[in-house]
């Protein structure tokens, strides 16, 4: 392990044994049969990763992809079936709500217990105790047994302890989704402070916006294997494409079960977005729609998001009741002009869906078209502004 590496994962695989027997009693009484009715489930398969100190890494993937298992293996909570994990520095892990808390102990007692588990002496805990309680915002309940805490109070106190032990490596699994908005903002500010101090964070989150804003590297897992390791924008695009493929497959399966043909009444044949040659801030979306079976009514929904998944804009043609769309069999071409789209530099995806006003979707394509903005006029951010600056005195 080099001096810049804080985690080295060597050919790690993790197997769980799934029993088909309904109870432990059945397994004991039918030992031979029980062996025949068990399956090996490989949550992780041959993972090789190196994480450098001072980076923030996001682990993303579908439910069951192995991201939480990998985080627990990194933290030493689970031991790999094969391979090994090398880690250095002080570790703090927020993997489950209130993990390590004893329900019959008070909040104060659990602070000292958790700090001791994380390697602090009593004197060191005394020094940070008031800061921990202030950050958690549960001063009124610190002498109350934690079994009476809400899930939000649990995670507030657990997060406060974890960040005040000054860890070299912080593992976070979805806990930032718990708590009210002010506390979430406080957590994000603290993580930003950790990043500026050169600490390492490994984060599991289903929030694309959160991962995109925090992480400088994204690892996409699918079926316990690494599908992408690198640029956050590309990783989140791969993840969203997988979600969309699953959605389409699920809809086709439901139609087949219902005895309906797996063919949409209206289909997006093609979509292209290009800046207007004369006015580059105007985006022209050219859309070809194939009508296979006309319905009573239909409309187009369009949304724009950036490469990190942040929703920028949305509209439907139902907002323009005077608009009459073609409704005969065949291929129809349409154009939607989006004027003055003054967004910041980057790549933007256009999602397009076809459906009716009742909310039924006929066809939807995530990232059906895209356009790029090369540079900002002045400054940086989600929007482009060319400010006028004058000196008044």
The answer on 84 and 191 residing in a single domain is yes
Has residue 224 got a pLDDT over 80? yes
pLDDT score of 373: 87
Residue 299 within any structural domain of the chain: yes
Residues 95 and 166 in one domain: yes
- pLDDT above 80: residue 274: yes
**20-39 per-position pLDDT tens digit:** 655 656 656 565 555 556 67
DSSP string, 207-261: -HHHHHHH-SEEEEEETTEEEEEE-HHHHHHHHHHHHHHHHHHHHHHHHHHTT--
Q: Are residue 271 and residue 224 in the same domain, yes or no?
A: no
Residues 226 and 317 in one domain: no
CATH number of domain containing 337 = 2.70.50.60
- Residue 175: the pLDDT is 63
For residue 332, the cross-strand partners are 289
- The 10s digit of each residue's pLDDT in 100-150 is 688 899 999 999 988 888 788 999 999 999 999 998 888 999 999 988 988
Give the helix, strand, coil percentages of the chain, each rounded to 5. 30, 35, 35
Whether residue 253 lies inside any domain: the answer is: no
CA–CA separation, 112 vs 120, rounded Å?
9
Q: Specify the number of domains making up the chain.
A: 2
Provide the angle, in degrees to the nearest 10, between the axes of the packed helices 151-164 and 122-136.
Answer: 130
Asked if the model's pLDDT at residue 252 lies above 90, the reply is no
Q: What ranges in the chain are assigned the alpha helix state H?
A: 24-29, 31-36, 67-74, 107-117, 122-136, 151-164, 181-196, 208-214, 232-257
The whole-number pLDDT of residue 49 equals 94
Assess whether 40 and 176 both reside in one domain: yes
Beta bridge partners of 369: 350
Per-residue pLDDT at 99 exceeds 70 = no
DSSP annotation of 290: E
Least confident residue range of 192-196, 205-209, 345-349, 353-357: 205-209
| pLDDT tens column, 227-240 | 999 988 888 888 87
Judge whether residue 254 has pLDDT over 70: no
**Domain region containing 36:** 5-238
Beta bridge partners of residue 285, listed in sequence order: 273, 336
275 falls within a domain: yes
Highest mean pLDDT among 113-122, 199-208, 297-306, 383-392: 297-306
In this structure, are 56 and 186 located in the same domain?
Answer: yes
What number is the average pLDDT over the span 267-273?
A: 94
The side-by-side arrangement of strands in the sheet containing 330-338 is 266-275, 283-291, 330-338
DSSP three-state, residue 76: coil
CB-CB neighbours of 139 under 10 Å: 11
Report how far apart, in Å, the C-alpha atoms of 335 and of each of 267, 284, 349 are: 16, 7, 17
Judge whether 251 lies within some domain: no
Reading the block at residue 345, the tokens are 């530099």
In the three-class reduction of DSSP (H, G, I as helix; E, B as strand; rest coil), residue 33 is classed as helix
Rounded to an integer, what distance in angstroms lies between the CA atom of residue 370 and that of residue 305?
10
Band of the pLDDT at 255, cuts 50, 70, 90?
A: low
Rounded-to-integer distance, Cα 68 and Cα 64, Å: 9
Q: Are 144 and 204 in the same domain?
A: yes
pLDDT exceeds cutoff 70 at 259: no
- DSSP code string of 174-203: SGGGSS-HHHHHHHHHHHHHHHHTT-EEEE
pLDDT digits (tens, 9 = 90+) for 184-223: 788 888 888 888 898 999 998 887 777 887 888 999 999 9
Give the pairing of strands 283-291 and 311-316.
unpaired
- Check whether residue 220 and residue 285 sit in a common domain: no
On the question of pLDDT at 177 being above 90, the answer is no
Specify the DSSP class assigned to residue 385: -
**What is the rounded CA–CA span in Å between residue 68 and residue 310?**
24
What CA–CA distance (Å, rounded) separates 22 from 367? 44
**What residues are paired with 18 via a beta bridge?**
39
Domain end, chosen from 238, 273, 306, is at: 238
- Model confidence at 19: pLDDT above 70: no
CATH number at residue 154: 3.40.50.300
Instruction: Supply the pLDDT for residue 71.
Output: 92
pLDDT tens figures, 74-98 = 988 899 999 999 999 888 887 765 5
For residue 253, pLDDT beyond 80: no
**What values do phi and psi take at 374, rounded to 5?**
-75, -40
Query: Same structural domain for residues 190 and 56?
Result: yes
Query: Do the domain assignments include residue 245?
Result: no
Q: For the residues 359-368, what does the mean pLDDT come to?
A: 88
Task: Mark whether 233 and 291 lie in a shared domain.
Answer: no
In a domain, 248, yes or no: no
User: What's the chain's average pLDDT?
Assistant: 85
Whether 309 and 274 map to the same domain: the answer is yes
Same domain, 12 and 130: yes
How many residues does this entry show for the chain?
393
Does a structural domain hold residue 338?
Answer: yes
Place of tokens 């001096």: 3
């Amino acid at each position: 392990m080099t001096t810049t590496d804080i985690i080295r994962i060597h050919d790690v695989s993790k197997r769980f044994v799934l029993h088909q027997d309904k109870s432990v009693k059945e397994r004991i009484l039918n030992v031979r049969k029980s062996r025949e009715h068990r399956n090996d489930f490989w949550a992780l398969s041959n993972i090789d990763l190196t994480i450098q100190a001072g980076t923030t890494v996001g682990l993303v993937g579908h439910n069951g992809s192995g991201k939480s298992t990998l985080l627990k293996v990194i933290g030493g909570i689970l031991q790999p079936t094969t391979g090994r994990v090398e880690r250095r520095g002080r570790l703090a892990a927020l993997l489950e709500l209130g993990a390590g808390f004893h329900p019959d102990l008070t909040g104060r007692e659990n602070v000292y217990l958790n700090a001791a588990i994380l390697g602090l002496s009593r004197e060191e805990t005394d020094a940070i105790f008031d800061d921990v309680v202030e950050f958690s915002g549960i001063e009124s309940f610190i002498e109350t047994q934690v079994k009476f805490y809400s899930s939000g109070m649990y995670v507030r106190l657990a997060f406060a302890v974890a960040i005040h032990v000054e860890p070299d490596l912080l593992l976070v699994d979805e806990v930032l989704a718990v708590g009210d908005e002010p506390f979430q903002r406080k957590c994000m500010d603290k993580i930003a402070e950790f990043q500026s101090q050169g600490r390492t964070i490994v984060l599991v989150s289903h929030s694309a916006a959160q991962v995109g804003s925090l992480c400088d590297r994204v690892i996409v897992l699918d079926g316990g294997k690494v599908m992408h390791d690198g640029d956050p924008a590309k990783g989140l695009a791969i993840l969203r494409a997988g979600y969309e493929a699953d959605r389409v497959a699920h809809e086709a399966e439901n139609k087949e079960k219902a005895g309906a043909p797996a063919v949409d009444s209206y289909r997006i044949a093609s979509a292209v977005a290009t800046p207007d040659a004369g006015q580059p801030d105007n985006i022209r979306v050219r859309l070809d729609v194939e009508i296979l079976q006309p319905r009573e009514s239909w409309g187009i929904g369009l949304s724009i998001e950036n490469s990190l998944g942040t929703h920028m804009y949305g509209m439907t043609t139902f907002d323009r009741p005077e608009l009459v769309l073609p409704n005969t069999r065949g291929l129809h071409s349409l154009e939607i002009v989006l004027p003055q789209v003054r967004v910041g530099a980057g790549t933007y995806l256009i999602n397009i869906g076809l459906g009716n006003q009742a909310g039924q979707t006929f066809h939807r394509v995530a990232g059906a078209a895209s356009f790029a903005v090369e540079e900002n006029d002045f400054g940086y951010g989600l929007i482009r502004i060319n400010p006028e600056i004058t000196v008044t005195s």
